[in-house]
Amino acid sequence: MARPILMPQVGQDLTEGKVVAIKVKVGDKVKKGDIVAEVESEKASFDVECFETGTIIEIRHKVGDTATVLQPLMMVGDEGEATAPAASPAAATPVPSAAAPASAIPVKAAPQVVAASPAAAQLAVASGRSSPLARRLASEAGLDIRQIKGTGPGGAVVMKDVEAVRQAGPGAATVLSFPSSSPAAGGGGQGIKSLQQGAGDPVLFIHGFGADLSSWRPFVMLMNAGNPLLALDLPGHGSSQDGTVTGFADLVAQVQRQIEAAGLTRLHLVGHSLGAAVATELAGGGRLDVRSLSLIAPAGLGPKVNGDFVAGFLAAQSEAPLKAWLDVLVHDAARLPGALLRATLAGREGTRLAAQQGRLAEAVFAGSTQLFSIREALARYQGPVRVMVGDNDRIIPASYADVLPAHVALHRLPQVGHLPQLEAAGLVARLVSDTVRSAG
Amino acid sequence: MTREIMYRDALREAIDEEMANNPLVFIIGEGIAERGGSYKVTEGLLAKYGSKRVRDTPIAEAGMIGVGVGAAIAGARPIVEILYVDFAMLGMDMLVNQAAKFRLMTGGSGRVPFIMRTQGGTGGGVAAQHSQSLEALFYHIPGLKVVMPSQPADAKGLLKYALRQEDPVIFLEHKHLYMTKGPVPEGEYVIEFGKADIKRPGKDVTIIAWSNMVPRALEAAAKLAEEGIEAEVLDPRTLVPLDKEAILASVAKTNRVVIVQEAVRRGGVASDICSIIQEEAFYSLDAPVEIVAGLNIPVPFNLELEKASVPQVPDIISAARRTLHLQPRAIAAQ
């Protein structure tokens, strides 16, 4: 069975590091203690030591790549082993030919195919079959089902396979892995990152317009839920600088693909502003099993948005004008961390972020009008849902939250603007944690 | 205290006790009075309650069912015994368009406490017009309750409950079950509709079965136990109302399901239960839900072919083993 060699944790709060050398190639025999790669953080370089004995069957990064910590750098297995559970030729029932492409890769040729094309590897693992129960148990245990060897029909992963990995204890299991934030195949597969490990259904945070996933980092420290905490970058934000968005529905569809590409089907959603609108559509859309929904200053509840803010925020190219506009986000400008200002400017430098965000703004807001409504999706979603808005929100009128479906809990926070997760972080983290826990 | 009595005797006790309790209960049917019924369910009742309350009818099922539905609307508590469920087709308009709808169409003020007792299923080469399992037809009609007892104690308790509630009940017995024996409590008891019964507890796979498929499921479970597989046999007892909670609880425990019905597979109750399970217990399933059902054909006259056309014990064992990934999955029935 394939076992991963993980990208080491290279620093206290570091989430990724650069691969500077790879000292093995596919097919090489390795033993415990061998140095297989070298990676570096901003401060130092580290040897990656092999804890397994076997043959390198897949290398997932090349020199120069940025790799996410605690994610597999490469896979070790038995000689000739494929990383994906290929359909057993001895299976009594032939798989219909439509399902053939991925599983039809001959086992012997697999190392070569896999090494040559990460996209092919992705396809191969994605086609692995598993029972719904096995997927749920793997998700609850924080295991990546794609890494578990299946003994069910046609190599499907069934309950006892997950149990076997769980009982083998830590080390035998791969932590839940997601496509890295380096350019991913096919677009839309970018950047779901783990903010905090945990057990149970993952909680996915979706940021608002102009922010990125790192904006959640201070907030998640306050969360009181044992679940894995994940976050993504919306198209045109953070590390996700490619791709265009043609409208709100397209934005939702892209995020949905991103989530599906990460193999997530059952999760809690937390969103802020535009991200909250996306979360609501995903929850009401029914394709994902959304366990709970926490909406912070959600967009999409009424027509008006502060178009001056959007335009001014995007046009600002230096600290003074940007600060003037960012101040509008909060009730008390003193609460706005200077880091936000510098991070926003630094993010724009040498990137197309501002231009991409401008296009996104045109696609979802026409001037001061929100071109979409989440009200239908909100009414459709029957799980636990909580809305938190600041009374002094100057981006989206707080009064839009006055009329909500009866099953939605509403918290109006006094002396808070458009960033409740920053301005009333403790309370909002408690409410979000409660919402997650309420779903059981 | 319980004693071992036959299914038909348990039914007779229910009718007898309720007729004694309530003068509005009466029973009509073909050969039920002097002959005591083809399966001897009503034996002795004529002498006890007289020919006004235990009455033979001509061979005219449409008329019999019509009389029953009308009497129920007028406030009586009729039991109409139809010799074979196959013949109930003659009264479908009264059942589907009148009995099932009357409560709704009168804004709830008109009730139809009508009971059609009949029997179905295969049983010894009585051929295609006397062997059908037609519960799905009634299950499909909102407004009808569908009861299918598998054991004497259930038969008695459910029939007594049927005679005390206010809606039309299709009470489907099985020709194979009349002579089977089982423990029946002494004295007064009823069994509420919508309460499934675990006929055998187990942790590895849930076998859902009703009517004559329950004894076969129990036999299969006993054989599975020999190979260390603990099957839970769940009998819904009433298909409408269906005890969804009991089914979901069992699936959550075992993670695997086999549904057994004697009726033909196509458009059956098993498929509907399966759809409920996949919708509400999807993430509890470790294998596809297996349905073991009759073939999509009229029941053959030839005894061996008749046997081959409906689920047998080995079919149930194989399906249970498939859900445990112990043997390959067969190609699904057409």
Q: Is residue A206 within 8 Å of residue A232, measured between CB atoms?
A: yes
Position B257 in a domain: yes
Q: What's the pLDDT at A1?
A: 63
Of B121, B85, B84, whose CA–CA distance to B293 is shortest? Answer: B121
Per-residue pLDDT, averaged over B86-105, amounts to 97
Name every residue whose Cβ is closer than 8 Å to that of residue A236 and which is 6 or more positions away in sequence.
Answer: A243, A245, A353, A356, A357, A359, A360
- Please judge whether A153 and B329 are an interchain contact, meaning their C-beta atoms are less than 8 angstroms apart: yes
Q: What is the pLDDT of residues A182-206, one digit of tens each?
A: 333 333 345 788 888 888 899 999 9
Per-residue pLDDT, averaged over A74-82, amounts to 77
pLDDT > 70? residue A90: no
* B284 and A CB contact within 8 Å: yes
pLDDT > 70? residue B12: yes
CA dihedral B135, B138, B143, B149 (to 10 degrees): -20
Residue A385, domain CATH: 3.40.50.1820
A313/A101: higher pLDDT: A313
Q: What is the pLDDT of residues B28-83, one digit of tens each?
A: 999 999 999 999 999 999 999 999 999 999 999 999 999 999 999 999 999 999 99
Q: What's the pLDDT at A172?
A: 47
Position B8 in a domain: yes
- Please judge whether A136 and B283 are an interchain contact, meaning their C-beta atoms are less than 8 angstroms apart: yes
Q: Which of A60, A83, A106 is the last residue of a domain?
A: A83
pLDDT > 90? residue B84: yes
**Contact residues, chain B, for A91 at CB < 8 Å:** 328
B14 & B161 share domain? yes
A207 & A62 share domain? no
Which tokens hold the place of B243? Answer: 């005890």
* A290 and B CB contact within 8 Å: no
Residue of A nearest to B325 (CA): A152
ipTM of the complex: 0.78
Residue A30 belongs to what domain range? 1-83
Q: What is the pLDDT of residues A20-34, one digit of tens each?
A: 888 888 888 888 778
Amino acid at B260: V
A337 pLDDT band, cuts 50/70/90, is: confident
pLDDT > 50? residue A173: no
pLDDT > 90? residue A421: yes
Position B331 in a domain: no
To the query of whether residue B130 is one of the catalytic residues in this protein, the response is yes
What's the total number of domains in chain A?
A: 2
Q: What's the pLDDT at B329?
A: 59
Position A93 in a domain: no
Closest approach of chain A CAs to the CA of B205, in angstroms?
Answer: 13
Q: What's the pLDDT at A116?
A: 32
Residue of B nearest to A158 (CA): B286
Half-sphere exposure of A246 (CA within 13 A, CB side): 3
* Catalytic residue (one of B18, B30, B81, B130): B130
What is the bridge-based pairing of β-strands B2-6 and B181-185?
A: antiparallel
Q: What's the pLDDT at A151?
A: 87
Q: Which of B129, B160, B185 is the last residue of a domain?
A: B185
Per-residue pLDDT, averaged over B242-261, amounts to 97
pLDDT > 90? residue A439: no
pLDDT > 70? residue A398: yes
- Please judge whether A134 and B286 are an interchain contact, meaning their C-beta atoms are less than 8 angstroms apart: yes
- Please judge whether B283 and A131 are an interchain contact, meaning their C-beta atoms are less than 8 angstroms apart: no
Angstrom distance (rounded) from CA A410 to CA A223: 19
Position A421 in a domain: yes
Q: What's the pLDDT at B39?
A: 94
Query: Could you say which DSSP state residue B334 is in?
Result: -
pLDDT > 50? residue A153: yes
What's the total number of domains in chain B?
A: 2
pLDDT > 70? residue A212: yes
Average pLDDT, chain A: 79
**Contact residues, chain B, for A158 at CB < 8 Å:** 286-287, 325
pTM of the model: 0.54
Chain A interface, best mutation among B285, B286, B322, B326, by max A CB count within 10 A: B286
Residue A36, domain CATH: 2.40.50.100
To the query of whether residue B13 is one of the catalytic residues in this protein, the response is no
Of B186, B185, B176, B85, whose CA–CA distance to B138 is shortest? Answer: B85
B181 & B108 share domain? yes
Closest approach of chain B CAs to the CA of A131, in angstroms?
Answer: 5
Per-residue pLDDT, averaged over B137-141, amounts to 98
Q: Which of B185, B206, B229 is the last residue of a domain?
A: B185
Position A164 in a domain: no
Angstrom distance (rounded) from CA A123 to CA A428: 39
pLDDT > 50? residue B193: yes
Name every residue whose Cβ is closer than 8 Å to that of residue B157 and which is 6 or more positions away in sequence.
Answer: B14, B189, B190, B191
Chain B interface, best mutation among A157, A158, A160, A290, by max B CB count within 10 A: A158
B26 & B163 share domain? yes
Angstrom distance (rounded) from CA A306 to CA B80: 73
A240 pLDDT band, cuts 50/70/90, is: confident
Give the residues across from A4 on adjacent strands: A75
Residue of A nearest to B282 (CA): A132
Q: Which of A83, A110, A126 is the last residue of a domain?
A: A83
Per-residue pLDDT, averaged over A158-170, amounts to 82
Position A366 in a domain: yes
* Catalytic residue (one of B61, B81, B173, B306): B61
Which residue is listed with tokens 């319980």? B2
- Please judge whether B284 and A132 are an interchain contact, meaning their C-beta atoms are less than 8 angstroms apart: yes
Average pLDDT, chain B: 96
Check the CA dihedral B237-B239-B240-B243 and report its sign.
positive
Torsion angles phi and psi, residue B183, rounded to 5: -70, 135
B56 & B166 share domain? yes
Position B32 in a domain: yes
Q: What residues of chain B, 167 to 186, have a C-beta less than 8 Å from chain A?
A: none
Closest approach of chain B CAs to the CA of A129, in angstroms?
Answer: 11
pLDDT > 80? residue A47: no
Closest approach of chain B CAs to the CA of A93, in angstroms?
Answer: 7
* A291 and B CB contact within 8 Å: no
B152 & B97 share domain? yes
For helices B269-280 and B244-254, what crossing angle results, to 10°?
A: 60
Residue B309 belongs to what domain range? 197-323
Per-residue pLDDT, averaged over A339-353, amounts to 77
Number of Cβ pairs < 8 A linking chain A and chain B:
37
**Contact residues, chain B, for A289 at CB < 8 Å:** 283
Q: Which of B285, B328, B331 sits opposite A131 (nearest CB)?
A: B285
Q: What is the pLDDT of residues B16-29, one digit of tens each?
A: 999 999 999 999 99
B15 & B88 share domain? yes
Residue of A nearest to B278 (CA): A132
Check the CA dihedral B130-B131-B132-B138 and report its sign.
positive
Maximal CA-CA distance, chain A: 70
A174 pLDDT band, cuts 50/70/90, is: very low
pLDDT > 60? residue A127: no
A108 pLDDT band, cuts 50/70/90, is: very low
Per-residue pLDDT, averaged over A308-327, amounts to 88
